[in-house]
Amino acid sequence: MAGSAGPTLHAQTTGESGPRVAFCHGLFGQGRNWNQIAKGLADVCRPTLLDMPNHGRSPWTEEFDYLEAAGLVGQTLRSIDPDDPWVVVGHSMGGKIAMLLALTEPELVERLAVVDISPESTTSFSEFAVYADAMRTMDLEAVDTRQDADAAMREAAPDPGVRGFLLQNLRSKDGGYAWQPNLDLLHAQLPAIGDFPDLAGAQFDGPTLWVGGSRSRYITEDAEPIMRGLFPKVHQITIKGAGHWVHSEKPQEFATILRWFLKR
Protein backbone atom coordinates (compact mmCIF):
# COMPACT_ATOMS: atom_id res chain seq x y z
CA MET A 1 0.00 0.00 0.00
CA ALA A 2 1.92 3.01 -1.22
CA GLY A 3 1.33 6.30 0.54
CA SER A 4 -0.48 9.01 -1.39
CA ALA A 5 -1.45 12.63 -0.93
CA GLY A 6 -4.18 13.04 1.64
CA PRO A 7 -4.83 13.85 5.29
CA THR A 8 -1.98 13.61 7.74
CA LEU A 9 -1.77 13.02 11.46
CA HIS A 10 -0.73 15.50 14.12
CA ALA A 11 3.05 15.21 14.56
CA GLN A 12 5.73 16.86 16.65
CA THR A 13 9.39 16.44 15.65
CA THR A 14 12.50 17.21 17.71
CA GLY A 15 16.22 16.51 17.35
CA GLU A 16 18.59 17.76 14.69
CA SER A 17 20.52 14.73 13.45
CA GLY A 18 20.49 10.97 13.29
CA PRO A 19 17.84 8.56 12.01
CA ARG A 20 14.22 9.59 11.90
CA VAL A 21 12.18 7.72 14.51
CA ALA A 22 8.38 7.75 14.56
CA PHE A 23 6.54 6.86 17.79
CA CYS A 24 3.01 5.40 17.64
CA HIS A 25 1.02 5.29 20.90
CA GLY A 26 -1.59 2.80 22.06
CA LEU A 27 -5.34 3.02 22.59
CA PHE A 28 -6.45 6.17 24.48
CA GLY A 29 -2.88 7.49 24.28
CA GLN A 30 -1.29 10.48 22.57
CA GLY A 31 2.03 11.19 20.93
CA ARG A 32 3.18 13.09 24.00
CA ASN A 33 3.08 9.84 25.99
CA TRP A 34 6.49 9.23 24.38
CA ASN A 35 7.97 12.58 25.48
CA GLN A 36 10.31 11.18 28.14
CA ILE A 37 11.71 8.50 25.83
CA ALA A 38 12.06 10.93 22.91
CA LYS A 39 13.91 13.52 25.00
CA GLY A 40 16.29 10.86 26.25
CA LEU A 41 17.14 9.81 22.69
CA ALA A 42 17.20 13.22 20.98
CA ASP A 43 21.03 13.14 20.96
CA VAL A 44 21.08 10.09 18.67
CA CYS A 45 17.95 10.50 16.54
CA ARG A 46 15.18 12.80 15.33
CA PRO A 47 12.02 11.67 17.14
CA THR A 48 8.55 12.34 15.73
CA LEU A 49 5.63 11.89 18.12
CA LEU A 50 2.41 11.03 16.29
CA ASP A 51 -1.21 11.19 17.44
CA MET A 52 -2.92 8.15 15.96
CA PRO A 53 -6.24 8.55 14.09
CA ASN A 54 -9.19 9.31 16.42
CA HIS A 55 -6.78 10.37 19.18
CA GLY A 56 -5.23 13.63 20.34
CA ARG A 57 -5.18 16.31 17.65
CA SER A 58 -5.34 13.93 14.70
CA PRO A 59 -8.37 13.58 12.38
CA TRP A 60 -11.28 11.30 13.19
CA THR A 61 -12.31 8.53 10.82
CA GLU A 62 -15.70 6.96 10.05
CA GLU A 63 -14.55 3.50 11.17
CA PHE A 64 -11.52 1.90 12.74
CA ASP A 65 -9.34 0.17 10.17
CA TYR A 66 -5.74 -0.85 10.85
CA LEU A 67 -4.70 -0.67 7.21
CA GLU A 68 -6.19 2.80 6.87
CA ALA A 69 -4.38 3.89 10.05
CA ALA A 70 -1.08 2.50 8.75
CA GLY A 71 -1.64 4.35 5.49
CA LEU A 72 -2.21 7.61 7.37
CA VAL A 73 1.02 7.09 9.31
CA GLY A 74 2.86 6.46 6.04
CA GLN A 75 1.43 9.61 4.43
CA THR A 76 2.41 11.64 7.47
CA LEU A 77 5.98 10.35 7.55
CA ARG A 78 6.43 11.05 3.84
CA SER A 79 5.08 14.58 4.30
CA ILE A 80 7.73 15.18 6.99
CA ASP A 81 10.61 13.60 5.07
CA PRO A 82 9.98 12.06 1.64
CA ASP A 83 13.56 10.84 1.23
CA ASP A 84 14.83 9.16 4.40
CA PRO A 85 13.60 5.78 5.69
CA TRP A 86 12.18 5.63 9.20
CA VAL A 87 12.57 3.66 12.38
CA VAL A 88 9.00 3.07 13.55
CA VAL A 89 8.23 2.36 17.22
CA GLY A 90 4.73 1.34 18.28
CA HIS A 91 3.09 0.32 21.54
CA SER A 92 -0.06 -1.84 21.77
CA MET A 93 -2.55 -0.54 19.16
CA GLY A 94 0.26 1.64 17.80
CA GLY A 95 2.46 -1.45 17.63
CA LYS A 96 -0.08 -3.15 15.37
CA ILE A 97 -0.22 -0.03 13.18
CA ALA A 98 3.60 0.05 13.05
CA MET A 99 3.77 -3.65 12.10
CA LEU A 100 1.26 -3.15 9.30
CA LEU A 101 3.13 -0.12 7.99
CA ALA A 102 6.32 -2.19 7.83
CA LEU A 103 4.51 -5.05 6.09
CA THR A 104 2.67 -2.89 3.55
CA GLU A 105 5.27 -0.15 2.93
CA PRO A 106 8.63 -1.78 3.68
CA GLU A 107 10.48 0.80 1.57
CA LEU A 108 9.49 3.44 4.14
CA VAL A 109 10.54 1.49 7.25
CA GLU A 110 14.24 0.84 7.86
CA ARG A 111 13.66 -0.93 11.17
CA LEU A 112 10.76 -1.65 13.48
CA ALA A 113 10.28 -1.73 17.26
CA VAL A 114 7.10 -3.34 18.62
CA VAL A 115 6.22 -2.79 22.28
CA ASP A 116 4.10 -5.31 24.22
CA ILE A 117 1.76 -6.48 21.47
CA SER A 118 1.63 -9.34 18.96
CA PRO A 119 0.48 -9.65 15.32
CA GLU A 120 -2.64 -11.57 16.31
CA SER A 121 -6.05 -11.00 17.87
CA THR A 122 -5.70 -9.62 21.38
CA THR A 123 -7.72 -11.59 23.93
CA SER A 124 -6.69 -9.74 27.12
CA PHE A 125 -8.51 -6.56 26.15
CA SER A 126 -11.47 -6.44 28.52
CA GLU A 127 -10.12 -3.65 30.73
CA PHE A 128 -10.23 -1.22 27.81
CA ALA A 129 -13.97 -1.79 27.44
CA VAL A 130 -14.36 -0.87 31.13
CA TYR A 131 -12.25 2.27 30.65
CA ALA A 132 -14.18 3.30 27.53
CA ASP A 133 -17.53 2.82 29.27
CA ALA A 134 -16.43 4.93 32.22
CA MET A 135 -15.12 7.71 29.99
CA ARG A 136 -18.20 7.81 27.75
CA THR A 137 -20.69 7.76 30.60
CA MET A 138 -18.96 10.32 32.82
CA ASP A 139 -21.26 13.28 33.48
CA LEU A 140 -18.95 16.03 32.27
CA GLU A 141 -21.41 18.74 33.29
CA ALA A 142 -20.87 17.64 36.89
CA VAL A 143 -17.07 17.80 36.53
CA ASP A 144 -15.77 21.11 37.84
CA THR A 145 -12.15 20.07 38.44
CA ARG A 146 -9.78 17.34 37.36
CA GLN A 147 -10.10 15.95 40.88
CA ASP A 148 -13.80 15.39 40.16
CA ALA A 149 -12.93 13.49 37.01
CA ASP A 150 -10.31 11.45 38.86
CA ALA A 151 -12.89 10.47 41.47
CA ALA A 152 -15.40 9.52 38.78
CA MET A 153 -12.86 7.19 37.11
CA ARG A 154 -11.60 5.57 40.32
CA GLU A 155 -13.88 2.52 40.24
CA ALA A 156 -13.19 1.70 36.59
CA ALA A 157 -9.44 2.42 36.83
CA PRO A 158 -8.27 1.89 40.42
CA ASP A 159 -4.59 2.12 39.45
CA PRO A 160 -3.66 5.84 39.73
CA GLY A 161 -1.12 5.58 36.91
CA VAL A 162 -3.66 4.12 34.48
CA ARG A 163 -6.25 6.66 35.64
CA GLY A 164 -3.85 9.53 35.04
CA PHE A 165 -3.03 8.14 31.60
CA LEU A 166 -6.71 8.04 30.65
CA LEU A 167 -7.45 11.48 32.07
CA GLN A 168 -4.80 13.06 29.86
CA ASN A 169 -7.52 12.81 27.21
CA LEU A 170 -9.74 15.26 29.11
CA ARG A 171 -9.43 18.79 27.76
CA SER A 172 -10.73 22.16 28.96
CA LYS A 173 -13.42 23.46 26.60
CA ASP A 174 -15.81 26.41 26.86
CA GLY A 175 -15.44 26.66 30.62
CA GLY A 176 -15.94 22.92 31.11
CA TYR A 177 -14.36 19.67 29.99
CA ALA A 178 -14.57 17.46 26.89
CA TRP A 179 -12.93 14.23 25.78
CA GLN A 180 -10.44 14.60 22.96
CA PRO A 181 -10.55 11.09 21.41
CA ASN A 182 -13.37 9.75 19.24
CA LEU A 183 -14.75 7.75 22.18
CA ASP A 184 -17.97 6.56 20.55
CA LEU A 185 -16.12 5.07 17.58
CA LEU A 186 -13.34 3.55 19.67
CA HIS A 187 -15.81 1.99 22.08
CA ALA A 188 -18.00 0.58 19.31
CA GLN A 189 -15.05 -0.88 17.42
CA LEU A 190 -13.02 -2.37 20.27
CA PRO A 191 -13.26 -5.84 18.63
CA ALA A 192 -11.60 -4.44 15.49
CA ILE A 193 -8.91 -2.76 17.61
CA GLY A 194 -8.22 -6.09 19.31
CA ASP A 195 -7.97 -7.88 15.96
CA PHE A 196 -5.09 -7.99 13.44
CA PRO A 197 -5.50 -8.20 9.65
CA ASP A 198 -4.37 -11.34 7.87
CA LEU A 199 -1.84 -10.35 5.21
CA ALA A 200 -1.15 -13.64 3.46
CA GLY A 201 2.48 -13.93 2.39
CA ALA A 202 3.54 -10.54 3.77
CA GLN A 203 6.93 -10.24 5.41
CA PHE A 204 9.23 -7.47 6.64
CA ASP A 205 12.92 -8.31 6.34
CA GLY A 206 14.32 -5.36 8.25
CA PRO A 207 15.68 -5.47 11.81
CA THR A 208 12.82 -5.82 14.29
CA LEU A 209 12.86 -5.31 18.05
CA TRP A 210 10.07 -6.93 20.10
CA VAL A 211 9.90 -5.66 23.67
CA GLY A 212 7.49 -6.99 26.29
CA GLY A 213 6.85 -6.62 30.00
CA SER A 214 7.30 -9.67 32.22
CA ARG A 215 4.01 -8.92 34.00
CA SER A 216 2.02 -8.33 30.81
CA ARG A 217 -0.43 -10.76 29.20
CA TYR A 218 -0.18 -9.29 25.72
CA ILE A 219 2.66 -11.46 24.37
CA THR A 220 2.11 -15.21 24.54
CA GLU A 221 4.20 -18.20 23.50
CA ASP A 222 1.69 -18.91 20.74
CA ALA A 223 2.46 -15.50 19.21
CA GLU A 224 6.19 -16.15 18.78
CA PRO A 225 6.02 -18.29 15.59
CA ILE A 226 3.54 -15.83 14.06
CA MET A 227 5.86 -12.92 14.82
CA ARG A 228 8.91 -14.71 13.44
CA GLY A 229 7.03 -15.66 10.29
CA LEU A 230 6.19 -12.03 9.55
CA PHE A 231 9.42 -10.52 10.91
CA PRO A 232 12.27 -13.04 10.46
CA LYS A 233 14.93 -10.68 11.84
CA VAL A 234 13.11 -10.16 15.15
CA HIS A 235 15.04 -9.83 18.42
CA GLN A 236 12.86 -10.36 21.49
CA ILE A 237 13.55 -8.73 24.87
CA THR A 238 11.47 -8.94 28.05
CA ILE A 239 11.82 -6.22 30.69
CA LYS A 240 11.48 -7.60 34.20
CA GLY A 241 8.89 -6.01 36.45
CA ALA A 242 7.10 -4.18 33.65
CA GLY A 243 3.44 -4.53 32.73
CA HIS A 244 1.74 -3.50 29.51
CA TRP A 245 2.92 0.14 29.56
CA VAL A 246 6.58 -0.89 29.39
CA HIS A 247 8.02 2.45 28.27
CA SER A 248 6.29 4.44 31.04
CA GLU A 249 6.81 1.86 33.82
CA LYS A 250 10.49 1.22 33.04
CA PRO A 251 11.59 4.26 31.02
CA GLN A 252 15.33 4.01 31.69
CA GLU A 253 15.50 0.32 30.79
CA PHE A 254 13.37 0.84 27.71
CA ALA A 255 15.40 3.85 26.52
CA THR A 256 18.64 1.89 26.94
CA ILE A 257 17.27 -0.95 24.82
CA LEU A 258 15.97 1.38 22.12
CA ARG A 259 19.26 3.29 22.03
CA TRP A 260 21.07 -0.03 21.49
CA PHE A 261 18.63 -0.95 18.71
CA LEU A 262 19.16 2.37 16.94
CA LYS A 263 22.93 1.95 17.00
CA ARG A 264 23.30 -1.77 16.30
Whether 172 is catalytic is no
Whether 65 is catalytic is no
Whether 121 is catalytic is no
3-state secondary structure the chain: CCCCCCCCCCEEECCCCCCEEEEECCCCCCHHHHHHHHHHHCCCCEEEEECCCCCCCCCCCCCCCHHHHHHHHHHHHHHHCCCCCEEEEEECHHHHHHHHHHHHCCCCEEEEEEECCCCCCCCCCHHHHHHHHHHHHCCHHHCCCHHHHHHHHCCCCCCHHHHHHHHCCEEEECCEEEECCCHHHHHHCHHHHHCCCCCCCCCCCCCEEEEEECCCCCCCCCHHHHHHHHCCCEEEEEECCCCCCHHHHCHHHHHHHHHHHHHC
Residues in the chain: 264
Catalytic residue, chosen from 43, 81, 184, 205, is 184
Catalytic residue, chosen from 92, 118, 216, 248, is 92
Catalytic residue, chosen from 25, 55, 91, 244, is 244
- Cα-trace Rg, the chain: 18
Which active-site residues does the annotation give? Answer: 92, 184, 244
